[in-house]
Amino acid sequence: MKVLIDISHPAHAHFFRHSIEALKKNNHQVLITSRDKDVAHAILDGCGLEYISLVKPASGGFLDFGRELIQRDIAMIKLVRKFKPDVLAAIGGTFIAHSGFVTRTPSLVFYDTEFAKLQNKITYPFASHVIVPDCYYGKVPEKKCTRYSGYHELAYLHPKYFSPNYEVAVKNGLDLSRDNFLIRIVSWNANHDIGESHWNKQTISVLVKHLESLGNVIISSEAKLPEHLEKLVYAGDTDKLHHVLAFCRMYIGESATVASEAAVLGIPAIYASLSDRGYTTEQQTKYQLVDHVRSVDWHPLKNSIDHMLDTPKAQWDRRRKQLLNESIDVSQFIYDSIINKRPSPTTTVKK
């Protein structure tokens, strides 16, 4: 069969990576389209995956996103008509939902971001099927929605698919002599980020100064940093950052995705943002692997850091084990859904 998978964010490349490999291994033809967002193309290149970049991504603002939406929809519809895939798949899925609706091609939209209300309103009605984690609390089209036990990040960081390599981590910036702390700063120029607040330069500087007194600081950033922080920017291979994260003492950042990545790896994570995610909320309340600090100020951040550093490592390991035991094989679930052009007819896919 023919499959078209659309990648619009770096994490999406990781999400589909193993299902793409399985599809190709079983002689299915896969076409990947990609949005040049942050390091998405670098990750696809690192994975050895060929792709087509359709249009230049928007830089921010409603008008710019509107332009990209129209241009990308037109480009995607033309490509679908030319390639004639049997099924389309994507995270977020606005463009595959629209092109699938127009060309009558089944579209599978995976998603986990509830507050992207505008995006979801122009996507969900046109999708053939919407697939969300159990913890997703946003509005969905119930008659064509499937829920599953797990998180997007398990599609590539479950022990079945990922084994942290200490030598790779050291080669890409891990400090052997002390604790390591990863900070993630986002650019807030995605369509679901419009109107969101983010850390200010003062908060970042104070945070970095405090963490440098405790160990080695590594910053992964979409945004341009003050000059005095540039020396701390992650300089390793883009597709090797998870090896570094897996050996860090802690993650602190604005990215919910990286917080969830840390959680499934058993690394204490602080997600500092005004907006919620169902998955980080569940990872906080059910597994105590994430602390969502609903503030962009320093003092709440410091209180959370102190609390997490006082928690023994054995507790993080036990919490991660529980999370893994209660989750399905997400990558296998993605593959099966694509092959069948829809997920299981059951409401919830349990392990």
Based on the fold, state whether residues 106 and 219 are members of the same structural domain.
Answer: no
Based on the fold, state whether residues 132 and 262 are members of the same structural domain.
Answer: no
The CATH number of the domain holding residue 205 is: 3.40.50.2000
- pLDDT of amino acid 201: 82
Q: How confident is the model at residue 59 (pLDDT cuts 50, 70, 90)?
A: low
Decide which of 31 and 61 is more confident: 31
| 88 is a domain residue | yes
pLDDT 10s digits, 243-272: 999 999 999 999 999 999 999 999 999 999
Based on the fold, state whether residues 79 and 24 are members of the same structural domain.
Answer: yes
- pLDDT of amino acid 351: 53
pLDDT 10s digits, 141-168: 989 999 999 999 999 999 999 999 999 9
| 216 is a domain residue | yes
Q: How confident is the model at residue 65 (pLDDT cuts 50, 70, 90)?
A: confident
- pLDDT of amino acid 191: 42
Quick check: 190 pLDDT over 80? no
- pLDDT of amino acid 193: 41
* Mean pLDDT, residues 32-44 taken together: 83
Based on the fold, state whether residues 258 and 270 are members of the same structural domain.
Answer: yes
Based on the fold, state whether residues 56 and 81 are members of the same structural domain.
Answer: yes
How far the first Cα of the chain sits from its last, in Å, is: 27
Based on the fold, state whether residues 333 and 320 are members of the same structural domain.
Answer: no
Decide which of 316 and 36 is more confident: 316
Decide which of 59 and 210 is more confident: 210
- pLDDT of amino acid 113: 93
Quick check: 194 pLDDT over 50? no
| Residue 335 Cα to chain centre, angstroms | 18
Containing domain of residue 172, as a range?
Answer: 166-325
Based on the fold, state whether residues 24 and 141 are members of the same structural domain.
Answer: yes
* Mean pLDDT, residues 116-139 taken together: 94
Based on the fold, state whether residues 16 and 114 are members of the same structural domain.
Answer: yes
In the numeric block, which tokens belong to residue 206? 């104070």
CB atoms within 10 A of CB 316: 22
Based on the fold, state whether residues 320 and 171 are members of the same structural domain.
Answer: yes
| 268 is a domain residue | yes
Average pLDDT, the chain: 91
Based on the fold, state whether residues 188 and 288 are members of the same structural domain.
Answer: yes
Strand 2-7 and strand 87-91: pairing?
parallel
Residue 269: which of 206, 181, 195, 342 has the closest Cα? 181
| 161 is a domain residue | no
Q: How many domains is the chain built from?
A: 2
In the numeric block, which tokens belong to residue 294? 């609903």
pLDDT 10s digits, 68-127: 889 999 999 999 999 999 999 999 999 999 999 999 999 999 999 998 888 999 999 999
Print the SS3 string covering 171-230: HCCCCCCCCEEEEEECCCCCHHHCCCCCCCHHHHHHHHHHHHCCCEEEEEECCCCCHHHH
Quickly count helices (H) and strands (E) in the chain.
14, 13
* β-sheet bridge partners, residue 108: 89, 129
pTM of the model: 0.92
Burial class (CB in 10 A: 0-12, 13-18, 19+), 230: exposed
Residue 275: which of 170, 188, 351 has the closest Cα? 188
pLDDT 10s digits, 281-314: 999 999 999 999 998 789 999 999 999 999 999 9
CB contact at 8 A, 258 and 251: yes
- 97-103's contacts with Cβ under 8 Å and 24+ in sequence apart are 97/123, 97/124, 97/126, 97/127, 98/73, 98/123, 98/126, 99/73, 100/126, 100/127, 100/128, 101/126, 102/77, 103/77
Based on the fold, state whether residues 194 and 285 are members of the same structural domain.
Answer: yes
Which of 39-48, 58-67, 216-225 shows the lowest mean pLDDT across its residues? Answer: 58-67
